[in-house]
Amino acid sequence: MLVLLPPSEGKTPAPVGAPPVDLAALAHPGLTPWREKVLDALVAVSARDDACAVLGVSPGLAAEVTRNTGLRDAPAARASRVYTGVLYGAAGLDGLTPAARARAVRSVRVVSALWGVLTVDDVVPAYRLSMGTDLPGVGPLSAAWRGPLADALAEEGEDLVVDCRSAAYRAAWTPPAGATWVDVRVLREVDGRRSVVSHHAKHTRGVLTRHLVTRRGNAPRDADELAHAASALVGTVLTAVELADPPRRGARTLSLVVD
């Protein structure tokens, strides 16, 4: 099982004095040349007067963009601490038992515009960059990462991909044809009518992620076992779990229904 998460938009800086990122120590060292290229380009553009516009962020986030210029020397911490926000708050990946944390390290991957892909134990600094950026010197990041991520994630060798990414991050990697690819969708039901939700979807995907790494038993091996595992949440955070029929191509949809 491979659970794919997007990064959080907001990130918590590591404590002052913590060691900086060691690119060679990150998982999937084959991505190091690409990480170097994107990092250098991000540092350069973040020093420009039009950095906020290029990176697609509001002027109110100018301090975070300026912080990008010092990323090579910035203090770093485990990804499970740096990534915060609704999804990661619900997943609680930095507060797991040793056994659950070992499962999370094996199974959970964060797809990142800057680092390509990370485990929850990879040590990185806080940064500001989204996958939808057309980064000067690199180009559209989803396209730039597509080839490198195909090689890196092929090394995982997992048959079941539980996809909790947003659309921009899904564009950076598509599971190979031999994998069972399940897209996790969250729906809200009100007066018998269902609609897609956004903010609550992050929370629900975080709850599912935590459940998958903390539940007893073996990890799900296919879409049906994943749906069965998720059904344990019905009656607490969910009202229903529905698995769509397999499509002719692409992801199979697992719908998590909330009130």
pLDDT along the chain (259 residues), means of 10: 95 97 97 98 98 97 96 98 95 96 97 98 98 98 97 89 96 92 92 78 96 96 97 96 94 95
Domain count, the chain: 1
pLDDT in tens, 213-227: 999 999 999 999 999
Q: Say what the pLDDT of residue 54 is.
A: 98
Determine the distance from the C-alpha atom of residue 14 to the mean position of all C-alpha atoms in its chain, rounded to a whole number.
Answer: 19
| 239, 257 Cβ separation under 8 angstroms | yes
Q: Say what the pLDDT of residue 191 is.
A: 75
Q: Say what the pLDDT of residue 159 is.
A: 86
| Strand (E) or helix (H) holding 189 | strand 180-190
CA distances 36 to 1, 29, 125, 138, Å, are 29, 11, 14, 11
Total residues found in the chain within this entry: 259
| 11, 82 Cβ separation under 8 angstroms | yes
Residue type, 257: V
What is the DSSP pairing of strand 193-196 with strand 160-163?
Answer: unpaired
For residue 240, the enclosing domain spans 2-258
| 131, 9 Cβ separation under 8 angstroms | no
Q: Say what the pLDDT of residue 118 is.
A: 98
CA distance 159 to 141: 26
Conformation bin of residue 41: beta by default, left when phi > 0, alpha when psi is -120 to 50: alpha
CA distance 103 to 246: 27
Q: Tell me the DSSP string of 126-191.
A: -----TT-EETTTEEHHHHHHHHHHHHHHTT--SEEEE---HHHHTT----TTSEEEEEEEEEEET
pLDDT in tens, 5-38: 999 998 999 999 999 999 999 999 999 999 999 9
CA distance 164 to 219: 17
